[in-house]
Amino acid sequence: MLNSLLNKSWLKALPLLFLAVVLLFGWTPLVAADEEHDDAAPTAETAEENALPTDDLAAGKMIYEKLCISCHGIEGDGDGPAAVRFQPKPRSFKKAKYKYRTTPKGKLPTDEDLFRAITLGLPGTGMPDWADVLSEKKIRQVIKYIKSFSDEWEKQESSPHVVTVGTVVPTSPESVERGKKQFTALGCQLCHGTEGRGDGPTASALKNHRGDPVYPRNLNKNWLFRGGGKAEDIYVRVNTGLSGTPMPEFSGALDNEKSWDLANYVRSLSPEKTPERGSLIKARSIEETIPVDPDDPIWQEGEPTWFPMMGQISFEKRLFTPSVTDITVKSVFNEKEIGFLLIWDDRSKSKTSKPGAKKISFTDQVAIQFPEKLQPGGVKKPYFIMGDEKLGVNLWNWTSEDNRFFETNAYGVWNNSEVEQSGSDISGKGYYKNGQYRLVIKRSFQTSDSEKDIQFEKGIFYPVAFFAMDGTNGEKGSQRSITPWYFVFMEPEEDKSVYYYPPIVIALVFGLEFILVKILKKNHKKENV
Amino acid sequence: MKMPLVAKASACVFGFFLFLKLGLPLFTSPLPYSVLAMYMILVLISTLLYVSIFEDDYSNFYLPIVKFLRGDEGDNAVRKMSRIAVFVMIPLFMGFRTYKSVQPNFEPPFPQRVIHPAPPGSAAGFVNPYGGDEANHEKYVQEGRKVYYENCVFCHGDKLDGKGFFANALNVKPANFADPTTISMLQESFVFWRVKTGGIGLPEEATPWDSAMPRWELILSEEERWKAVMFLYDYTGWKPRTWELDAE
């Protein structure tokens, strides 16, 4: 009786084994891409940890000469090698003019102010956050050394007045509204612009204490605020101003509540969370003709994709201080066409300067880059900056000055290979308002020139990259803001068979279970007989 | 009380799974899915072998399962409910997995990028002309610092950690020289080759079209490039990998 059960038991164990495997690993094939893991590793600590001098000043000097001289210079006058291409220039500790303080404008900062700047760094500049490399003790030692570069520190009054953040006025529509009134009443828009994009009428003429041009902050991107992007940081900033720049201190005009209102308003100009770098533009399917008006309701819908940009520094002429820091993209498609909405901030609407003008400027320009042709497998691409000799790129360009849409092909930056096409298949509309460009470019999927123009189909990933040039910043040709390759994708209509298979599988498995139980019961009865 | 064999077997399989999935990553990098699956199949097969090798063990293992699936008249409500639950859950789960696998899954083409590809033969011949000059080492390093801060700092960063202020705009992240797995694992000649020919000089398996590393031979002299490489090693404290070390 038991024997017969055991003889058959191997067979019976099979479905169990099968079920167990499925339950453990699911239905997916047993191959999957290796997950990438963070290669975060601690920065190499200095080996001379134990050999550090006990004297704080000497220890600070040692750290300074290892970590700080590249920008701030061995003499502390802000002329290290990095000063050549950094804008803004590294601080001169000899001049001791510090922008980010809690003390009144023109006064020296507190040690805590310096500690903060070193620990958190200055976002958007070459000054990194040092907290992962330097202990608090070491930072204090460096501060001591930095202060030794200027005798201003000895001359200062004993305890400077320090702006402290008073009772918090939490952000609310009312507070933001009051802050907006403050913003206008204090004249902030004269430099920072009506919507705060650093495009005010006086913005282009501003200079710092060195005579270098300075640009009012674009208040719509708080992740680039040097002194911190939180409301309380803004509170301190409007009360203390920025020494060595035209940014005034408004402490005389602002009490605690007004400071908070203004800070809440400025904070409200930026998104609640810093946007995350996208990798794929998912085009949205629409029935209608693609509207060329960037303000059309169709363009209000759909999730935008955000791409940070960098200066082109691979080929001469290089651009180390780009003006356009990021671009926001939406895409839609219908049966025949694909369209893109591009949104990017620019301090000014630029014009080509006349010959012999003191300040040279060009038109503002933007381009969407595609490969001329997709390569088999879709992995291989042209070089991401304007292609290469073997694989060309197809560029959709727009210049703001003459509102011109045109296509080019390029085969590398280094050989001036960009050629304009005789006819253009793209169309669209763009405009500049309050420090921001909004532009629609569209094209039909197929064109008559399949050699030079990318041809589109649904369900395929197309490499795409973006370029932007701010003509007032002297950007032209290879001097431009760039992105690496990303993808754009048009999802094809859903295949209904997706909904047929699962019920079939459920029925089958249920049937198998039923048969299994039947067999088990039958055997059991036999044993009991 | 003795633990039933079924419980022991499942505890063994589940324990292994937990160890591989959660325990191991504490000591080393997490296992890729395919390797985890392979280990688990081995564990499962060995467990089933173990429980079926002796007849007594086998019936001890097998009977409770059979009883559960078959259902006995004396079963209490809990047993009945859990039995129904198991019979409903399995087909539903399978249906869900099927849906997941037939659902159109649009993934961009993903290249298996080789990070340190084999350099071309010509790269082996690169020899640091300042290598033996210990007396002037510090001078060259300081000149390299200048090259670095005029050209490289924008992406590779002030801390040489690959977090320069352009880094977030890049898809292939700039190399982190402070990390023990970058320049310390490479020979000086390899690093020099990467600086010289840049991303565009990489072989195809390393996706040269995606790398933003400039081809520095177009911009910097050979001397400047060697000094920059010397600065990287001096600042981070790493030593370049050498043939002598390999031979040890």
Q: What is the DSSP string of A397-426?
A: EEETTTTEEEEEEES-TTTT--EE-SS---
Report the mean per-residue pLDDT for chain B: 88
CATH of domain A280-490: 2.60.40.1190
8 Å CB contact of B58 and A9: yes
- Report how far residue B146's alpha carbon sits from residue B223's, in angstroms, rounded to the nearest whole number: 12
A261: distance to nearest CA of chain B, Å? Answer: 31
Average pLDDT, chain A: 89
- Cβ contacts below 8 Å, chain A against chain B, sum to 231
CB-based contact, A153 to chain B, within 8 Å: no
The average pLDDT across B162-176 equals 94
Judge whether residue A15 has pLDDT over 60.
no
Q: Tell me the average pLDDT across A429-436.
A: 97
Class of domain A48-155: mainly alpha
Q: Quick check: A173 pLDDT over 80? A: yes
Residue-wise pLDDT tens digits, A253-300? 999 999 999 999 999 999 999 999 999 999 999 999 999 999 999 999
Name which of B19-33, B174-188, B214-228 the model is least confident about.
Answer: B19-33
Instruction: State yes or no: pLDDT of A161 exceeds 50.
Output: yes
**Encoding tokens for residue B53?**
């090798």
**Least Cα separation, residue B111 to chain A (angstroms):** 6
- Domain A173-269 in CATH 1.10.760.10? The answer is yes
Which member of B30, B150, B157 has the closest CB to residue A81? B150
CATH number at B121-247: 1.10.760.10
Q: Do B104 and A494 touch (CB under 8 A)?
A: yes
Question: What are the sequence ranges of the domains in chain B?
Answer: 5-102, 121-247
Cβ of A311 and B154 within 8 Å? Answer: yes
What is residue A290's predicted lDDT score, i.e. its pLDDT?
97
Which pLDDT tens digit goes with each residue over A446-470? 999 999 999 999 999 999 999 999 9
Could you read off the pLDDT of A389-422 as tens digits, one per residue?
A: 999 999 999 999 999 999 999 999 988 899 999 9
In chain B, residues 128-187 whose CB comes closer than 8 Å to chain A: 145-146, 148-151, 153-155, 157-161, 163-166, 168-172, 176, 178-181
User: From the candidates B13, B52, B106, which should be mutated to test the interface with A, based on the most A CB atoms within 10 A?
Assistant: B106
pLDDT at B246 > cutoff 70:
no
* pLDDT at residue number B143: 96
Q: Is the complex ipTM more than 0.95?
A: no
Q: Which residues of B touch A486 (CB under 8 A)?
A: 171
Alpha carbon distance A486, A280 (integer Å):
6
Interface of B with A in 186-215 (CB under 8 A): 198, 200, 204, 207-210, 212, 214-215
> pLDDT for B66-119, tens place per residue?
888 888 777 788 888 888 898 899 999 999 988 888 887 788 887 778 888 888
C-alpha distances (whole Å) from B101 to each of A149, A320, A377, B35, B106 are 66, 47, 22, 20, 12
B24 or A111, greater pLDDT: A111
Beta strands A280-285 and A486-490, pairing class: parallel
Looking at the complex, report in whole angstroms how far the Cα of residue B225 sits from the nearest Cα belonging to chain A.
15
Q: What is the pLDDT of residue A33?
A: 36
| Cα dihedral A132, A133, A138, A142 in deg (nearest 10) | -110
Structure tokens at A99: 């922008």
Give me the mean pLDDT over the B150-156 stretch.
96
Contact A75, A94 (CB under 8 A): yes
Question: Which has more pLDDT, A505 or A36?
Answer: A505
Chain B residues with CB under 8 Å of A509 CB are 90-91, 94-95
CB A373 within 8 A of CB A474: no
Nearest alpha carbon to residue B195 among B186, A46, A464, A432: B186
Question: Lowest-confidence range among A17-21, A337-341, A359-363, A503-507?
Answer: A17-21
pLDDT at residue A29 is higher than 50: no
Of A43, A309, A310, the CB nearest to B159: A43
Is residue A218 scored above 60 in pLDDT? Answer: yes
Q: pLDDT band for position B23 (50/70/90)?
A: confident
Peptide bond into A273 cis (omega under 30): no
Query: B89: distance to nearest CA of chain A, Å?
Result: 10
Asked if residue A219 has pLDDT above 90, the reply is: yes
Between A105 and B101, the higher pLDDT residue: A105
Following DSSP, what letter does each residue of B40-63 receive, concatenated? HHHHHHHHHHHHHSSHHHHHHHHH
Instruction: Give the mutation candidate from B21, B80, B102, B216 for the A interface (greatest A CB count, under 10 A).
Output: B102
Which of A34, A226, A274, A385 to substitute to test the interface with B, most B CBs within 10 Å?
Answer: A34
**Which pLDDT band, with edges at 50, 70 and 90, does A5 fall under?**
very low
What pLDDT score was predicted for residue B66?
83
A293-320 residue pLDDT tens: 999 999 999 999 999 999 999 999 999 9
pLDDT at A6: 45
Question: Looking at the predicted structure, is the pLDDT value of residue A51 above 60?
Answer: no
> A30: pLDDT confidence band, cut at 50, 70 and 90?
very low
Rounded CA Rg of chain A: 31
Q: How confident is the model at residue B244 (pLDDT cuts 50, 70, 90)?
A: low
